[in-house]
Amino acid sequence: MKDRPNILLITSDQHRADSLGCYGHSCARTPHLDILAEEGVMFSNAYSDCPVCIPARTTLVTGIQSHLYGKPEYCPSFRIDRPREKFLGGILGSAGYRNALVGKTHWHTDPGFDGGFEEWISFRTLERIVERLGYGCRTGMGRNEMVPMLDPLPPELCSTNWAVQQSVEFIEKHDRSKPFFLWTSMVHPHPENIIHEPYYSMYDNEDIPEPVVPRWACSEETTPYAIRKIRYANSHFYMKGREARKARGVYYGMITNLDHQIGRLMGALMKHDFWDNTVVIYTTDHGEHLGDYGTYFKGTLLESAARIPLIVRCPSSMKPPRGGKCASLVELADLLPTICELIGTAAPDDVTGKSLLPLLKDDEKSIRDVLHAQIDNQHMFHDGRYKYLYFADDGLELIFDKSCDPYDEHNLVGDKELELRLRQRFIEHLRSENHPHLKDGQLVNLGRKIMEHDKFNISGWLGIRGAG
């Protein structure tokens, strides 16, 4: 491929899809991401196939859904069996791209593994600076706690700001002898829920939306075990009233700071004459419940956690549509084959994602009929209209009509004809995968119930054993 484009991949962590102005949020301020959407294509049905950090991020760098490579769960000890050259960085290097990763990895690999990237500027460098300045563990808040806190660090030591500064310096030093791929991988708005001013107070006087707590989530009988376990096993459940509202405001403040820093990146591309030959992709690994369904955190296939923002802006030389909105079902696994097509190389044979380029060129309206996602023992089977959730822990089902139910509020279980049709299609799909949650033609029900220790497993969610 002649005149191959540069590629800038920007990822955040735990950014729910509705928390951007371009996605219709009532108060979240994201002016630069809104501009990116106006210049590119915004995907309204993008999903994380396993909404927790490690598997979602491994899917991104391999192009394979986590339940197909063998570990759809947060499991730091699992190691994917895959050669370096089949990871995203290795593919880019083989294709002749100068490539760099700035920031977070968090894959199903050894912690020091670089994913095949030629250059990896990790947050460990920033952590050493912070430690040397004597800040240490500066707040007492765990890495998965949503309790709001003003950051005592100066803005330049905010992980988002620091990662963008390193990325700007990469752009400034690029020698143009070959195209570049730069991945700016940020941590925010993942808790700990901490940010500096003016972002800490930015939303204090805004009309912040209340959490969505549907009727089905208020009953022990109709709320699946997996959702109740997450709800009871973290300290967020106990935040009430003013503190909960402040927590949501600080979350939006982290997003606005992230957006302002993305503006710096966009400006650097323009200043150094890269804007007209650079594909810019923005996405995240998963969302955040933010009080929806009576819980915080992620770890379910409900909309707040599973649906993610995805914006792709192509340079004018590719004659892309501008300001487009694509409703096709897409997922994180699609990014690697998309990048492969952009750089003119074949994706590895075992990649399960599909290239987004037919959608970006407006050649196709859809690249798949159904999307199957899994986290732990939870499944999502989405056909573009109906979203069927099956919970193998206790055999419960939830069904939502996505044409009129954006927040998974109205459970259609009880419509026997619809139940049977969706369940049977899901069973056939599991059979095609030889999935262990199908036995003798029946969906597996593990018969699990909430135990006392499930209600007090706080330390795991605080992030004492690492962030998820």
Domain ranges for the chain: 6-368
What's residue 133's pLDDT? 80
H-run or E-run covering 180: strand 180-185
Those residues of the chain that have pLDDT short of 50 are: 1, 458-466
Token pair belonging to 8? 């800038």
What's residue 464's pLDDT? 43
Alpha-helix runs per DSSP H in 10-158: 31-39, 53-62, 66-69, 88-94, 123-132
Q: Which of 13, 34, 57 minimizes the C-alpha distance to 262?
A: 34
Strands 386-391 and 46-47: unpaired
User: How many other C-beta atoms are found inside a 10 Å radius of the C-beta of residue 449?
Assistant: 9
% residues pLDDT > 90 (the chain): 83
The C-alpha atoms of residue 206 and residue 199 are separated, in whole angstroms, by: 13
What's residue 461's pLDDT? 46
Q: Which of 67, 99, 40 minimizes the C-alpha distance to 333?
A: 67
The C-alpha atoms of residue 327 and residue 310 are separated, in whole angstroms, by: 11
Q: Which residues have CB under 8 Å from 257's CB, separation 6+?
A: 158, 160, 161, 188, 195, 196, 199
Pair 305, 335: CB distance under 8 Å:
no
**Beta partners for residue 51, in sequence order:** none
The alpha carbon of 274 is separated from its chain's Cα centroid by a whole number of angstroms, namely 27
The C-alpha atoms of residue 234 and residue 287 are separated, in whole angstroms, by: 17
DSSP string, 300-343: S-SHHHHB--EEEE--GGG---SSEEE-S-EEGGGHHHHHHHHH
In CATH, the architecture of 6-368 is: 3-Layer(aba) Sandwich (3.40)
Tens digit of pLDDT for each residue in 116-161? 999 999 999 998 888 888 765 567 777 888 889 999 899 999 999 9
The C-alpha atoms of residue 78 and residue 84 are separated, in whole angstroms, by: 16
What's residue 457's pLDDT? 52
The alpha carbon of 331 is separated from its chain's Cα centroid by a whole number of angstroms, namely 10
The C-alpha atoms of residue 72 and residue 49 are separated, in whole angstroms, by: 8
Q: What pTM does this model have?
A: 0.96
